[in-house]
Copies of this chain bind each other. A is one copy, B any other.
């Protein structure tokens, strides 16, 4: 069992490379894992939103976990998204994740189903009770339609149900209040991971223990430098590195907004960039997203070059 203490530093949500016919591209995924480990990351988050988890079939998800766990070979913890609308379906994914040897699991509030705080509490308690692995609560209202309330998170933390939070809520006020609430309850070793790649320095100052930056797929070294700066209280370095990464994140603005919304823009950009960097063989994405076209890819290339990354294609 992973010590939750180790869930610090940079833990990118690993993109899932696909072949042009929609299958998991195993060789590319292996290269991506090594690219990230070489970049100095502290952990890998498999099957997160950036990993297209809700686009993959269960056999594909199992394959992704198998490849990532094998390629990582224990170098860092692997945490696995178990992201489904409701409890019975999440439990299926928990059993698969355990079988495939991950180190921690991640679950959101229920979605599609119309629920309130009590249903969310029953959900997370049932998921936590079903596994011996640490459970991280994934707070992502933009996808599930509801924020995890701080009082619920504090109670679940206090009861040992959740070992951390992966915060993609965009609510820095609630994040800060949770940090201070955990201190006051003397809850230690609780992972507070920010998912917002453009405010990692600020959230580390506010008390985050680490980050889960989608952009970390593209530039893991940058996020690792940022984290080390913060860990050394060298906030000037952290801040400068973050500003460079804010600019690099503009790759997601490369897509034509008239025909590409959130998921397409983000995942499409990460894959276009990883393809240009020579890490993955195809920028293919799942339907109903579409891959970046030539013009869009050209804009991604420009941003990569400005950020000082080595474009290979």
Q: Which A residues are closer than 8 A to B by beta carbons?
A: 22, 49, 54-57, 83, 85-89, 92, 110-123, 126, 142-145, 170-173, 176-177, 180, 183-184, 196, 198-199, 201-203, 205-206, 233, 235-236, 239, 242-243, 246-247, 258-264, 266, 286-290
Contacts and interface: CB of A to CB of B under 8 A. Distances in A.
Given A54-B89, A118-B259, 18 more contacts: A57-B89, A86-B286, A87-B286, A87-B287, A111-B112, A112-B112, A112-B143, A113-B143, A115-B264, A116-B261, A119-B261, A119-B264, A126-B287, A170-B170, A173-B198, A173-B199, A201-B206, A202-B205
Given A180-B246, A202-B205, A88 B286 contact: yes
A249 to B, nearest CB: 8
Contacts of A243: 180, 183
This chain's copy number in the assembly: 4
Nearest to A250: B177
A263 B205 contact: no
Contact of A172 (B54, B55, B170, B258): B170
A85 B287 CA distance: 11
Contacts of A145: 145
A174 B134 CA distance: 32
Given A113-B143, A143-B112, A235-B205, A22 B54 contact: no
A interface secondary structure, majority: helix
Given A57-B89, A114-B262, A263-B115, A290 B199 contact: no
Contact of A118 (B57, B86, B87, B261): B261
Contact of A115 (B114, B184, B201, B288): B288
A89, A115, A206, A288 pick with most chain B CB within 10 angstroms:
A288
A119 B289 contact: yes
A110 B261 CA distance: 12
Given A113-B143, A198-B177, A199-B172, A236 B236 contact: no
Contacts of A263: 113-115, 119
In order of increasing CB-CB distance, the 4 nearest A-B pairs are A116-B261, A114-B262, A87-B287, A202-B202
24 contacts: A54-B86, A54-B89, A54-B112, A88-B286, A113-B263, A113-B289, A114-B143, A114-B261, A114-B262, A115-B261, A115-B262, A116-B262, A118-B260, A122-B287, A126-B288, A145-B145, A172-B199, A173-B196, A176-B202, A177-B198, A177-B246, A180-B246, A199-B206, A202-B206
A154 to B, nearest CB: 13
B198 A113 contact: no
A288 B84 CA distance: 12
B196 A205 contact: no
Contact of A55 (B22, B88, B196): B88
